[in-house]
Chain A
Amino acid sequence: MSSNNKDLTDLKFQDELLFAGNPTFGSVTEDVSKVVETKPGQLWYVLFGISVSLTLMLFSMIGYLFWEGTGIWGLNNPVGWGWAIVNFVFWVGIGHAGTLISAVLFLLRQRWRTSINRFAEAMTIFAVICALLFPTIHVGRVWLLYWVLPLPNQMEMWPNFRSPLLWDTFAVGTYFTCSLLFWYVGLIPDLATLRDRAKDKWGKLLYGIFSLGWRGGNRQWQHYELAYLVLAGISTPLVLSVHSIVSTDFATSLVPGWHTTIFPPYFVAGAIFSGFAMVMTLALIARKVYNLEHIFTPKVLERMSWVMLLTGSMVGYAYSMEFFIAWYSGNEYERFAFINRAFGPYAWAYWIMITCNVISPQLFWFKKFRTSIPILFIISIVVNIGMWFERFVIVMTLSRDYLPSSWDYYSPTIYDIGIFIGSFGLLFTLFLLFLRFLPMVAMAEVKGVLPEADPHHGGSH
C-alpha cells in the first residue's frame, strides 16, 4: 500500500469518489447527528433486543461458570485451553482494525479512512472488551485474577515476568487504554457539535461534560491535532505489539506447532485481515440501515478489500511457510503437528480455515467482486469465520503433542458455544448503543476532506 501512497492521497479526494452526493459541511453534520438525535427505528430495537438477550445469556453462563468451575467447558488434559482462548485471540485480532485505520492510516495520510475510522475505533474497543472477557473467565480461580498484576504486597510476591500471559496483560491493557483515549480524543469535537445541537437536558449535560468545553477555537484545534497525532504515534507500534505478544502465548511455548518464530508477523497480518473484515461487515450493515451510502462509498469499501487481499495473502503465505519450516526443521514432532493439522482429527477445521482465509480473499483480484456489495458482505463474514477457525486450529494443536498416550479430542459443550455467541451479543449491544448515542462518523474529519475544505480546490501543485 505504502508505495502508491502518494497516488492514493492525491487521487481524487475532490472528485466525488470518497463521498458521493456532494455533501456539504452542513449536510454531513445533519446526516450524522440526525441518527443520534432522532428516535431509532424499529429495526434498531429488534437488533438491540436480540443483542441484549445474548448478552444476558453470556453473563448467566459466566455466572454458572464461576459457580461450578471451568469443567463445564470441553477442556481436558492435553487441551488445557479451549474456546475461551480461541475467542480471546479472535476478538483481539478483530480489535486490530480500529487502531490500524485510525492511527496508521492517519499517519500515512490515507484520508479515505475518515468515513470509517470512528466506526472502526468503536468496534476495536468493543472487540477488545470481548477479548478481555475471555482470559478473565478462563482461569480456574477467577477471584484471584488480580495476582497477575504487579501489585505491591507484604509478601513481596510479584508476578512471573517471564510468562507470556503476563505480557498479554500489559499488552492488551495498554492497547485498550490507548485505543479508548484515541477514540475519545477524536470524539471531542463531534461531542461538542452534539452538545450544541442538543435540545434535551440530559443531552446538554452529558455531551457538555464529555466535550470538555470544546469551542472549536484555533488554539483548541491546534492542541487537538497535536494530541491526536501523538496518540496516533503511540498507538501505531501497539498495532504491531499487541498481536505479536498475543502470539507469544503460543510461540514461546514448546508445544509442537506453537513453537515457531513466524507467529508474531503472521498473527498481526491475520489480525488486520480479520479486523478489516469485521469493520466491513459492520459498515455494510450501518450503511444500509442509516442510509449512509454516500459516506461509506464503494471506493472506500474497495480500498478495504485491497487491504484484505493483501493481508489474506500474507496469512496464506504464513500457512504454507509453517508447513515448509516444519518439514525443513527435521523435527519429527513439528512435522507431525502440521501433518496432523491438515489430515488429523481436526482436518475439517483446517480446511475450513484454508478455504475461508486463503481462497476467499483471492476473489478481490477481480474488480467485479471488489465492487459488489453482497460479495463484499459475504466475504467479510467468511473471512471472520476462517479467522476464528485459524485460532481454533492453532489451539487444538494441543490435542496431540509429544506423548501419544495423552492424546485426546476436544469437543465444545453448550457453555463453550453459548459464551462465544454471547460475546457477539455483547459486541453488538455495545455497538448499537454507540450508534444510538454517539456520532458514528467523525464529522470534523469528514469535513476536512470535503472539497470545500481545500482552498485550492484540488489544484495540482
Chain B
Amino acid sequence: MKKDNKVQQKKYFRSLEHLEGSKEYTEKAHREFPEGASEMNNDWSRRNFMGIMGASIALAGLAGCRRPKEKIIPYVQPPEDLIPGIAQQYSTTMPFGTSSYGIVVESHEGRPTKIEGNKLHPSTLGRSNAMIQAMTLGLYDPDRSQNLLQDGKEKTFDDFTAFWVEKFATYKESKGEGLAVLSESFASPTLARLKKQFGKTFPKASWVTYEAVSDENIYLGLKYATGKDIQPVYDYSKADVILSLDSDFTLTESEDITANAGFAAGRTIEDEHSKMNRLYVVETQFSGTGGVADHRLVIKQHEIVRFVTALAKELGVKGSEETPGVNLTDPCTAWLKPLVEDLISAKGKSLVVAGRRMPYEVHALVYAINKELKNIDKSVAYVEMRDVEVSSVDSLKSLADRMRSGVFSTVLMLNTNPVHNAPSDFKFSSALKKVENRIHVGLYNDETGKASTWHIPTTHFLENWSDARSVDGTASVVQPLIAPLFDGKSAVEVLSLVATGEYVDGHTIVKETWKDLVTGDFDSSWRKVLHDGLLAGSQNKTISPNYKSEYIYEVVGYFDQTVKGGIEVVFASSASVFDGRFANNGWMQELPSAVTRIAWDNVAQVSKKTADGLGLKSEDLINITINGVEIQMPLWVVPGTADDTVILELGYGRKNIGRIADKAGFDVYPARTSEAMSFVSGVTIAATGRTFEIANVQDHWSMEDRPIVREASKEDYEHHPEFAKHAVHHPPLESMWNEHKYDTGNQWGMAIDLTTCTGCSACTIACQSENNIPVIGKQEVRNGREMHWIRIDRYFTGDVDNSASVEMVHQPVACQHCEMAPCEQVCPVAATVHSDDGLNSMVYNRCIGTRYCANNCPYKVRRFNFFNFTKETPEIVKMAMNPDVTVRSRGVMEKCTYCVQRISKARIEAKKEDRAIVDGDVVAACQQACPANAIAFGDINDPESNVRQVKDRNRAYDLLAELNIRPRTSFLAKIRNLNPNMPKVQVAEIVEG
C-alpha cells in the first residue's frame, strides 16, 4: 500500500506494549503446537509429520497470523493503517556472521512473506541476494526445532532457567571457572555488550567464536600487515581495474551485494564510448565472478599464492625488492607483465581483492599491493571494528583440547554447530562428551543439538529483537515481524540469562543497549531507528593504519616456492547452503548452481582434462582420500576448472536435520582439517564403478554457435556498435494480418544487461518468493520439471579440454511476453491471452493442461504442474505464500507474469490518486532483487522511462526476434573489456554483417 514506510512505521510502534512475562501469554505460547510438538520426537516420517502439522495449525486457528507479542492489538479496534489485504513493510536486519543486511520485509496481516533490501542500509542498498530472499522460507521451516530438550526429553524454558539459576550461583562463585561459550561470529552491539557482561561476571570463563566459513584469514592478514583489527570496506564502483585473487566477490564472499552493485556500476555502459571497468580473475574453481571476468587465469590454489608473491615483486611493493622472487610458469608468466602495467596505469583507481580461502599472508600482501597502488581510502577503506566477534580456528582448537582434558563442566554453544563443521582433527564431538553440561542454542536440533544435554530452540531473526552492525559499522536493529512460531528464545535472551542469571525479554535488552547508542530523546530516536532500520551516522571510524613493510620479506619467503604436483582439493562454501546452515531451505537447495546448474547435491567438480585423465565422467561415484579420510561423492565435469583440482562444496550431506537437508549431497567436513581449511594437496581419487544420479537442469554446455548470448570485446564493440542487432540476418518480418498495435497506455517491457549479470540467482529466488513457486524435489528436477519462472542459462565457450580457454556466460531467461506470442495461438481453450498493456497472461482457471503452449514456446519458459506440487506443502510453509498470487493446481501451466500483481497494485494506487503510473511505480521482483541492477522494467511506451532508454541502447537485441514473435524482453549484449596486451583468450566471435 505504502511507498512511504515512515507513516505506518511510526504508527506501528506507537502502541508498544509489553505482554512479556504475562502468565496467559506464556501459557498460550506454550500451548501453541502441543499436538505436533509432543509427537514429533525423532520420527521424521514425512506424511506423519505433515498430518500432525496440519492438524495443529488448524487447531491453532488464527494464531498463525500472530503479530509480534509486544503489540498485540485486538482487531475490534483495528490498528491504524492496517487494512486486511494490504501489505505492510517493516525495516529490520538480517545478521550474517560479521556482516549484516538491512532489509525491508513485507508483511501480510502479521505474516512476513517477502524480503527486499533496505535502500538506506550500506550493505544492501535496496538490493538483495538469493540467501536473503530465501529467509522467509527459513522462518516457516516446519523442521526447525520446536522443543526445548534436556537429554532428549521435553522441558520448558522455565526448567532451563531454574537449572541455570542454580549453576549461575556456582559459576559466579568460581568466577566462571569451567564455563565456556562457543559462539557464532557476530557484529552486534547488544551481543557484544552481553559478552562483556559475561566476561565481567565470569572473568575466568572462556569465550570462543567459530565459523566454518569465515573471513578470519582476511582479518588475520590485515592484522599482520598493520597490527590492527580492521575491516576492509570495498567500493568496487571506484575501481577501473579490478584484480580478484580467488575472490568470488559477486556471490560467495562476504558483502556480495555491494560488490555486485559497485562492480556493475563500473561496467554499465550506455554506448560504445562509455568507460568500462576491467576485471581480472585468478582462480581455481569456476565461479560466477570468473564468468564475468574480462581475463581469467585458471591455476591451482597454491599457484595463486605464488602468483600473488610474484605480483607484489613485479609491482615493486615496498619490502619486496630484496625477496628472491618466484619463478612463475606459463600461463602466469605471460599474464604478469600486462596485468601489472594495467594496474599501475590505473593507480588509485584499481582494486586488488583476495578471497577468504587464501592464507592470511596473501591478504597481508594484498593490503601492501593496494597500498602501493594508492587504492586505500578510494576503492578500499579500512574501518575499525566495534562490537565484532571474529571466528578463530586456533581458539576453537584450544577449546577442544581443554574440553578433552576436562577443564570445562559447562559449555554453551550459541547458534553454532561444531559437531558438524569443526575441523575434523579437533575431534570435537568426542571432546564435547567430556563436558558435563552441554547447552546448545540453535534453530535446528542439529548434530550439536543432539550431542548436547540441553537443546534450546532459538528464534529466527524475523522473530526476535536484536541488533547488528554492518561492515562499515552502521548500527541497525533486528525487530521481529512475527511472534516466535516455535516458542524459541533468541541468542540475546539466552546470553543475557547466562550472563545475569535472570531472564529479561529481548526487547528490553536491546533497548538497554541502544540507550547508549542514540543521542537526544530516546523514544523519538528509537522510533526513527525502527523506521529506518538503522542508525544513520553510526559508521565506524576510517583508519589509515601504518604499514610496516618489513613483513613483506617474511611473507614472500614463507611461501613454498615449488609447484606441487598431484591432485589438489579445494573446500568451497556453497552458494546454496553456505556452510550448511541453509541446508533445510528448499528454495536454496533447489536453486541450481549458477556454474554447474546442479540442484540438490554437491559434487566433486573437476575439469574435463582431469576427468579424462582419471577415466571418469560426470555422475561417476568416486572415493576421494584426503589425509587418510575417505569420502564418497559423485564427480562432475565443470569446464574451466583448474586441472588436477577437485572442488568440494561444504554443508551438504546432513543427517536428521529435516526433510530437505537429509539426503541432499555429501558431507565433506570429515576431510577438512585445521591444517587445510581451504585447500589440500596429495589427494587420491579412485573410481567405485558406481554412478550417482544428479539433478542437473542444463545438460548442454554449448550455445551451438547460435546467436543467443551475443558478446563482443569492447574494442570490437567500438568498431561495430550495432553488432548485436546484426548478429542475425533474416527476411523482413512481415505479418500476414494486421497486427494489434500496442501503442497506447502502459506497455510493459523488460531489458536485461548481460554485461553486468553475474548469474548470482537472486532474481530466481526473489521470483520464487513473490510468486509462490513450489519446491518439487530432486527427483522432479532430475526429471526436467523445474518450476523456476526466471532461470539463469549458463553457456561455456572455448575448448572444454583446455580450461584456460573456457569462458562462461549467463543469461537470465523468463517469459519474454512476445507481442505475437506463439503460445497464445495454439492453446485450444484460450487460456493464455494477451492483455492490452502487452502482457502475455496465463489464465490458470481456464487452463486444461495440453502443454501445447510450452512446446511452442521457443524460450521454453513455461512451467507445468505435472503433479499437485503444493499438495504436500506443510501448513506452516503456506504462511510464506504471497496472498496476492494464486497458488497453481495440478495440470496447469504457469510462467513469468512480469509480476502482474505488482502492476495491478500500482495501477490501483495511481487510479486512487487520479494520476498516471510513473516510472518506478512498478518494480518486478527480479528487478528489485538484482544486486547488479541488470534488470530494467517499466513502460516501454514512455520515452522517459528507464527501460525504454535501456532498450534503445545500441547493443540491445531481442532473442529469437527472427521468429517474428516480438519479445518484450530485450537483452543488452555482453561486452568484455579486453586488455589488448594480455595473452589471447578466445572470445565468442562477432557474427559479421
A76: interface (CB < 8 Å) = yes
> Would A254 and B963 be within 8 Å (CB), given that A140-B865, A141-B849 are in contact?
yes
A-B contact pairs, 30 of them (CB 8 A): A68-B867, A69-B868, A70-B851, A70-B866, A78-B860, A80-B851, A80-B852, A80-B855, A81-B852, A81-B855, A140-B848, A140-B850, A140-B893, A141-B849, A145-B848, A147-B848, A148-B828, A163-B827, A165-B827, A166-B828, A252-B825, A253-B852, A253-B856, A255-B856, A401-B860, A403-B813, A404-B702, A404-B706, A404-B795, A406-B859
CA separation between A70 and B893, bound complex, in Å?
12
* B337 vs chain A, min Cβ distance (A): 38
Question: CB-CB < 8 A to A79: which residues of B?
Answer: 784
Question: CB-CB < 8 A to B858: which residues of A?
Answer: 254-255, 401-403
CA separation between A332 and B889, bound complex, in Å?
38
Question: CB-CB < 8 A to B865: which residues of A?
Answer: 69, 140
> Would A406 and B860 be within 8 Å (CB), given that A69-B865, A77-B786 are in contact?
yes
CA separation between A157 and B827, bound complex, in Å?
14
A-contacting residues, B792-815, CB 8 Å: 793-795, 811, 813
Q: Are A147 and B846 within 8 A (Cβ)?
A: yes
Question: CB-CB < 8 A to A409: which residues of B?
Answer: 699
Q: Are A407 and B699 within 8 A (Cβ)?
A: yes
B residues in contact (CB < 8 Å) with A = 698-700, 702-706, 708, 780, 783-786, 791, 793-795, 811, 813, 822, 825-830, 846-852, 854-856, 858-860, 863-868, 889-893, 960, 963, 965
> Interface 1/0s, chain A 71-112, versus B by CB < 8 A?
100111111110000000000000000000000000000000
Q: Which of A68, A77, A165, A404 has the most CB of B within 10 A?
A: A77
Q: Are B708 and A403 within 8 A (Cβ)?
A: yes
A336: interface (CB < 8 Å) = yes
Question: CB-CB < 8 A to A148: which residues of B?
Answer: 828-829, 848
Closest to A141 in B: B891
Question: CB-CB < 8 A to B893: which residues of A?
Answer: 140
Question: CB-CB < 8 A to A403: which residues of B?
Answer: 706, 708, 793, 813, 858-860
> Interface 1/0s, chain A 323-339, versus B by CB < 8 A?
00000000011001000
Q: Are A160 and B827 within 8 A (Cβ)?
A: yes
Closest to A147 in B: B829
Q: Are B826 and A405 within 8 A (Cβ)?
A: no
Would you list the 8 A-B pairs with minimal beta carbon distance, nearest first? Answer: A140-B849, A140-B891, A76-B784, A71-B866, A80-B851, A405-B793, A406-B860, A141-B891
Question: CB-CB < 8 A to B892: which residues of A?
Answer: 140-141
Q: Which of A141, A144, A162, A405 has the most CB of B within 10 A?
A: A405
B828 CB contact (under 8 Å) in A169, A398, A406: A169
* A307 vs chain B, min Cβ distance (A): 33
Q: Are A164 and B700 within 8 A (Cβ)?
A: no
Question: CB-CB < 8 A to B829: which residues of A?
Answer: 147-148, 159-160
Closest to B787 in A: A77
A37: interface (CB < 8 Å) = no
Known: A71-B785, A148-B828. 8 other contacts (CB 8 A): A77-B854, A140-B866, A140-B891, A141-B849, A157-B846, A252-B825, A253-B855, A254-B965
B-contacting residues, A400-452, CB 8 Å: 401-409
A158: interface (CB < 8 Å) = yes
CA separation between A140 and B866, bound complex, in Å?
7
Q: Are A69 and B890 within 8 A (Cβ)?
A: yes
CA separation between A409 and B698, bound complex, in Å?
11
Q: Are B891 and A70 within 8 A (Cβ)?
A: yes
A139: interface (CB < 8 Å) = yes
Question: CB-CB < 8 A to A332: which residues of B?
Answer: 705-706
* B890 vs chain A, min Cβ distance (A): 5
* B677 vs chain A, min Cβ distance (A): 35
> Would A336 and B698 be within 8 Å (CB), given that A78-B784, A140-B851 are in contact?
no
Q: Are B860 and A77 within 8 A (Cβ)?
A: yes
Interface of A is mostly: loop
A residues in contact (CB < 8 Å) with B = 68-71, 74-81, 138-142, 144-145, 147-148, 157-160, 162-166, 169, 249, 252-255, 332-333, 336, 398, 401-409
* A331 vs chain B, min Cβ distance (A): 9
Question: CB-CB < 8 A to A249: which residues of B?
Answer: 852
Question: CB-CB < 8 A to A162: which residues of B?
Answer: 825-826
CA separation between A77 and B825, bound complex, in Å?
19
CA separation between A165 and B891, bound complex, in Å?
17
Q: Are B704 and A77 within 8 A (Cβ)?
A: no
Question: CB-CB < 8 A to A159: which residues of B?
Answer: 828-830
Q: Are B822 and A139 within 8 A (Cβ)?
A: no
Q: Are B783 and A140 within 8 A (Cβ)?
A: no
CA separation between A81 and B855, bound complex, in Å?
8
Q: Are A165 and B852 within 8 A (Cβ)?
A: yes
Q: Are A69 and B795 within 8 A (Cβ)?
A: no
Question: CB-CB < 8 A to A158: which residues of B?
Answer: 830
Q: Which of B786, B811, B892, B963 has the most CB of A within 10 A?
A: B963
Q: Which of A145, A157, A406 has the most CB of B within 10 A?
A: A406
CA separation between A169 and B827, bound complex, in Å?
13
Question: CB-CB < 8 A to B866: which residues of A?
Answer: 69-71, 75, 140
Question: CB-CB < 8 A to B850: which residues of A?
Answer: 138-140, 165
CA separation between A140 and B851, bound complex, in Å?
8
Question: CB-CB < 8 A to B863: which residues of A?
Answer: 77
Q: Are A254 and B822 within 8 A (Cβ)?
A: yes
Question: CB-CB < 8 A to A68: which residues of B?
Answer: 867
Closest to A408 in B: B784
> Would A336 and B848 be within 8 Å (CB), given that A160-B829, A254-B963, A403-B813 are in contact?
no
Question: CB-CB < 8 A to A333: which residues of B?
Answer: 706
CA separation between A74 and B866, bound complex, in Å?
10
Question: CB-CB < 8 A to A81: which residues of B?
Answer: 851-852, 855
* B846 vs chain A, min Cβ distance (A): 7
Q: Are A71 and B846 within 8 A (Cβ)?
A: no
CA separation between A81 and B853, bound complex, in Å?
11
> Would A77 and B847 be within 8 Å (CB), given that A140-B891, A148-B829 are in contact?
no
Question: CB-CB < 8 A to A74: which residues of B?
Answer: 783
Question: CB-CB < 8 A to A169: which residues of B?
Answer: 828
Q: Are A71 and B855 within 8 A (Cβ)?
A: no
Q: Are A163 and B890 within 8 A (Cβ)?
A: no
Question: CB-CB < 8 A to A404: which residues of B?
Answer: 700, 702-704, 706, 708, 795
CA separation between A249 and B856, bound complex, in Å?
10
Q: Are B780 and A253 within 8 A (Cβ)?
A: no
CA separation between A75 and B849, bound complex, in Å?
13
Q: Are B828 and A140 within 8 A (Cβ)?
A: no
> Would A165 and B828 be within 8 Å (CB), given that A139-B891, A144-B848, A254-B856 are in contact?
yes
* A256 vs chain B, min Cβ distance (A): 9
Closest to A336 in B: B704
Question: CB-CB < 8 A to B706: which residues of A?
Answer: 332-333, 402-404
* A76 vs chain B, min Cβ distance (A): 3
Question: CB-CB < 8 A to A163: which residues of B?
Answer: 825-828, 852
CA separation between A80 and B793, bound complex, in Å?
20
CA separation between A77 and B855, bound complex, in Å?
9
CA separation between A405 and B793, bound complex, in Å?
6
Question: CB-CB < 8 A to B783: which residues of A?
Answer: 71, 74, 76
Question: CB-CB < 8 A to B891: which residues of A?
Answer: 69-70, 139-142
Closest to B705 in A: A332
CA separation between A401 and B856, bound complex, in Å?
10
Q: Which of B705, B784, B794, B863 has the most CB of A within 10 A?
A: B784
Q: Are A405 and B795 within 8 A (Cβ)?
A: yes
Closest to A400 in B: B700
CA separation between A147 and B829, bound complex, in Å?
6
* A178 vs chain B, min Cβ distance (A): 22
* B816 vs chain A, min Cβ distance (A): 11
> Would A405 and B849 be within 8 Å (CB), given that A69-B867, A165-B826, A336-B704 are in contact?
no
Question: CB-CB < 8 A to A160: which residues of B?
Answer: 825, 827-830
Closest to A398 in B: B855
CA separation between A166 and B791, bound complex, in Å?
32
CA separation between A163 and B868, bound complex, in Å?
27
Q: Are A139 and B795 within 8 A (Cβ)?
A: no
Question: CB-CB < 8 A to B846: which residues of A?
Answer: 147, 157
